[in-house]
Chain A
Amino acid sequence: MKWSQLLTIVVAAAIVSVTVQSCKNGGSATAFAGDDAAKAVYVQPGKHDEFYLFTSGGFSGHVGVYGLPSGRLFRVIPVFSVDAERGYGFTEETKPMLQTSYGFIPWDDAHHPELSMTDGKPDGRWLFINANNTPRIARIDLRTFRTAEIIEIPNSGGNHSSPFCTENTEYVVAGTRFSVPPGGQDVPIASYKEHFKGMLSFVRVEPTSGKMELAFQIQAPPFDWDLSHSGKGPSREWSFFSCYNSEQATTLLEVNASQKDKDFILAVNWKKAEEYAKQGKGKRMKATYYTNRYDESTHTATSTVNNEVTVLDPKDCPGMMYLMPCPKSPHGVDIDPTGEYIVGGGKLATVIPVYSFSKMQRAIADNAFEGEIAGIPVIKYEACIAGEVQKPGLGPLHTEFDGKGYAYTSMFISSEIVKWKLGTWEVVDRVPTYYSIGHLCIPGGDSKQPWGKYVIALNKITKDRYLPTGPELTQSAQLYSIEGDKMRLLLDFPTVGEPHYAQACPAELLEKNVVRTFKLDENKHPYAVKAEKETRVERKGNQVHIYMTMIRSHFMPDNIEGIKVGDEVYFHVTNLEQDWDIPHGFAVLGAQNAEMLIMPGETQTLKWVPTRAGVYPFYCTDFCSALHQEMQGYVRVSASSSSVPISYGSGTK
């Protein structure tokens, strides 16, 4: 047989196989893509996924990092909760990251990851995420996949409408879900309407370093500010916030906050607010809040305490903000890629209202207002609405966009995703989710440039979807293809914690910037040792500082004597490796905190307070070489009255 003949046969075979596959799809009536799904999500061993997916860890306080389409979990980034696995929040260097005006807080509830943007598109530099319980915003550096900074938000309770960023990451916002009396006033709860405020905070992000700073707060009425998104393109100077409880109830909100037909979407002209703040229109108010930053060269976090904040009152700032009536307790407020449409997700409503930014501008110019609340004009519903999606399903929550003219809204109560067309508002497709979808995510789906290949459902309940694990079941996400006219379910995959929201972007945006090792030459940690010769043990009163190194596969020093009961021992351990993926771990018997995982070129410190005499082994916890089991040492601890002198070394020193 000739080569050309062979080739023809191979091509023919390929065509046959494709034909066979597509026939199968056409025949299937359910949303599940069937046998094809396996192919669509299969990433060959050793090959990389096309997208990164960042999911919030919800009550775990972490961020999960997955690949798409495979749904494989790569990493859990500790953010607001301590992580004994790597020592985050336990080492002396990372403890300051979790400091707040309430003291050290080892846990929080993280909801909304948000990728930094340039020109309204994810730029792959940082990921922001909110802490709901003790209000904070964190910035994760996407070169290291580590938490680089956490800023506390004062005068807030329940930092939920956060941390959505403006078109060029000028600001990330933080609207308080639970209104509170500012300045921590001690007032009767019944004085809610008088004393409570719904603060909206604008946190400025320094464009090159990413450093966050609380620029100003806006004192909004005490509604429950629920979610937010900033405009883009024509609406770039505006941020939008949804709210419920415009009834201003403080008890049994389940009933009392669902009385009115309409709550609101608030439009804030942040550019104007910025000007007012600059002009000194704001009040300087006392407020204590922390900024915690991790310095990559000293490998150490430091906390700064701030004492003041600028507060703008809408009464003094005409033209800064407007309310748009929105049916029944909206959750999502989502802006389409063109920046013209603002979609409200009225979770108890029977329609999805879509507002027009240009109409809203006209309404403002024409004074088409129906009233005023706390100095904020309320635009007439008809004067700003572009259309309503009729009968979308039950419990519309949150909408993202595919960049091809369609919107996808999650329906919590009817547990489905509904696809509808922008402009005509007609529903064109719907698929069930398993079960009770909250938010959803399309890669870049809240930006100017969605990569409209998949939609990910972030579900609240899994029930029977996985092998049961007792009363507590896994949380999960589901991946659907949105490349064709019909949405097709491809994959279920479990997630860490509760995936409230997620963001995704092409892997190539991040992959090229990833830090592989920390340069030992650039390590400016005050207790770093860069060569074994410099290792030592120093006593300062009852503090003992051990300057230790680790390399495959030994510690230096690895025999230490002269520690006494009552001493505070600090193991300052530097990993001398300079090769990628060679962390070492450090654990010592009886340590009441955690282990440390130390990356190449990094220094970390574990405080250890032995409570009784004895000889304590320590060892490497991260399997590092064939001689990893041998990576161990001893510390001798003597009675507090003993006179054993400090001595240290290794067999060869």
Chain B
Amino acid sequence: MKSMVWFVAIAVTLIVGGCSTKSEDAHESAKAATVSEVGVGPIQRVELGALDVALAKKGAVIFEQKCSACHKLDSRYVGPALQGVTQRRKPEWIMNMILNPAEMLEKDPTAKELLATYLTPMTFQNVSHDQARALLEYFRQVDGAVH
């Protein structure tokens, strides 16, 4: 009787365990499909207005300090050239990439592809939400946005 009980107990564990993993995977990929445009992270929606030149200027300073060791605007460095990034990506995606790179590289299909190309992981540089917003404004300015 005892061995029978053990068998059942183990079987149950395996079955239950197996089930939950599978359903989680399915859940993840469903989520990924819907979020890939905006990425994964704290930013769900960014309202863009006319270019805020003062904010872009702040962004330029932050870029110099926290990003320029890995990014140039016009050529590949450790990471991609960032000119044109606002045309390639949604503003939400850009901010999530800045604020939440580790999870982006794990879950967002576009970010994953970038990592496969550049091999060094894009890193969190201890930037605040406001600083990330300023960086976005700077990239918009670089890409010629006016309004």
Give me the interface of A with B, judged by CB distance under 8 Å: 6, 9-10, 12-14, 16, 517, 519-521, 530-533, 549, 551-554, 556, 576-579, 582, 625-627, 652
Residue in chain B with minimal CB distance to A519: B126
A552 interface neighbour in B5, B12, B68, B78, Cβ under 8 Å: B78
Complex contact A625–B66 (CB within 8 A): no
Complex contact A530–B65 (CB within 8 A): yes
Q: Which of B27-35, B116-124, B133-141 contacts A (4 or more CB under 8 A)?
A: B116-124
Q: Which of B8, B72, B119, B120 has most chain A Cβ within 10 Å?
A: B120
Complex contact B5–A13 (CB within 8 A): yes
**Which of chain A's residues have a CB closer than 8 A to the CB of B6?**
13
Complex contact A9–B9 (CB within 8 A): yes
**Which of chain B's residues have a CB closer than 8 A to the CB of A553?**
78, 120
Residue in chain B with minimal CB distance to A552: B120
Complex contact A556–B2 (CB within 8 A): no
A579 interface neighbour in B2, B68, B72, B124, Cβ under 8 Å: B124
Q: Which of A10, A13, A578 has most chain B Cβ within 10 Å?
A: A13
**Which of chain B's residues have a CB closer than 8 A to the CB of A521?**
126
**B72-90 near A? 1/0 per residue, CB < 8 Å:** 1001011000000000000
Complex contact B126–A578 (CB within 8 A): yes
A625 interface neighbour in B65, B72, B120, B124, Cβ under 8 Å: B120
A17 to chain B, nearest CB (A): 9
**Interface presence of B53 (CB below 8 A):** no
Complex contact A531–B68 (CB within 8 A): yes
B120 interface neighbour in A12, A517, A520, A627, Cβ under 8 Å: A627
A576–B70 Cα gap in the complex (Å)?
Answer: 10
Complex contact A652–B2 (CB within 8 A): no
A551–B71 Cα gap in the complex (Å)?
Answer: 12
A74–B64 Cα gap in the complex (Å)?
Answer: 36
A293–B122 Cα gap in the complex (Å)?
Answer: 36
B68 to chain A, nearest CB (A): 6
A520–B126 Cα gap in the complex (Å)?
Answer: 9
**Interface presence of B125 (CB below 8 A):** yes
How many of chain B's residues have a CB under 8 angstroms from any CB in A?
24
**Interface presence of B69 (CB below 8 A):** yes
A626 interface neighbour in B12, B66, B75, B120, Cβ under 8 Å: B120
Complex contact A532–B12 (CB within 8 A): no
A515 to chain B, nearest CB (A): 13
**Which of chain A's residues have a CB closer than 8 A to the CB of B9?**
9-10, 13-14
A16 interface neighbour in B2, B64, B126, Cβ under 8 Å: B2
A6 to chain B, nearest CB (A): 6
> Per DSSP, are chain B's interface residues mostly helix, strand or loop, or mixed?
loop
A405 to chain B, nearest CB (A): 41
A348 to chain B, nearest CB (A): 56
Known contacts A531-B65, A531-B68, A554-B78: A6-B123 contact under CB 8 Å: no
Known contacts A9-B5, A16-B2, A625-B119: A533-B12 contact under CB 8 Å: no
**Which of chain B's residues have a CB closer than 8 A to the CB of A576?**
69
* 8 closest Cβ pairs, A-B complex: A578-B126, A13-B9, A626-B119, A551-B69, A578-B125, A579-B123, A625-B120, A552-B120
**Which of chain B's residues have a CB closer than 8 A to the CB of A549?**
69
Complex contact B69–A6 (CB within 8 A): no
**Which of chain B's residues have a CB closer than 8 A to the CB of A551?**
69-70, 78
Complex contact A6–B68 (CB within 8 A): no
**B12-53 near A? 1/0 per residue, CB < 8 Å:** 100000000000000000000000000000000000000000
Complex contact B5–A578 (CB within 8 A): no
Residue in chain A with minimal CB distance to B10: A13
**Which of chain A's residues have a CB closer than 8 A to the CB of B126?**
517, 519-521, 578
Complex contact A12–B5 (CB within 8 A): yes
**Which of chain A's residues have a CB closer than 8 A to the CB of B121?**
552, 625
A461–B124 Cα gap in the complex (Å)?
Answer: 48
Residue in chain A with minimal CB distance to B8: A9
A206–B70 Cα gap in the complex (Å)?
Answer: 43
**Which of chain B's residues have a CB closer than 8 A to the CB of A552?**
70, 78, 120-121, 123
Residue in chain B with minimal CB distance to A1: B8
Complex contact A578–B66 (CB within 8 A): yes
Complex contact A533–B68 (CB within 8 A): yes
A551–B65 Cα gap in the complex (Å)?
Answer: 12
Complex contact B120–A532 (CB within 8 A): no
**Which of chain B's residues have a CB closer than 8 A to the CB of A532?**
68-69
A553–B69 Cα gap in the complex (Å)?
Answer: 10
Q: Which of A519, A556, A578, A582 has most chain B Cβ within 10 Å?
A: A578
Residue in chain B with minimal CB distance to A625: B120
29 A/B residue pairs, CB under 8 Å, sorted by A: A9-B5, A10-B9, A12-B5, A13-B6, A14-B9, A16-B2, A16-B5, A517-B126, A520-B126, A521-B126, A530-B65, A531-B69, A532-B68, A532-B69, A552-B120, A552-B121, A553-B78, A553-B120, A554-B78, A577-B123, A578-B66, A578-B124, A578-B125, A579-B102, A582-B123, A626-B120, A627-B120, A652-B72, A652-B77
Question: In the complex, given contacts A9-B9, A549-B69, what are 16 additional A-B residue pairs having Cβ atoms less than 8 angstroms apart?
Answer: A6-B8, A10-B9, A13-B6, A13-B8, A16-B2, A16-B5, A531-B69, A532-B68, A532-B69, A578-B66, A578-B125, A582-B123, A625-B119, A625-B121, A626-B119, A627-B119
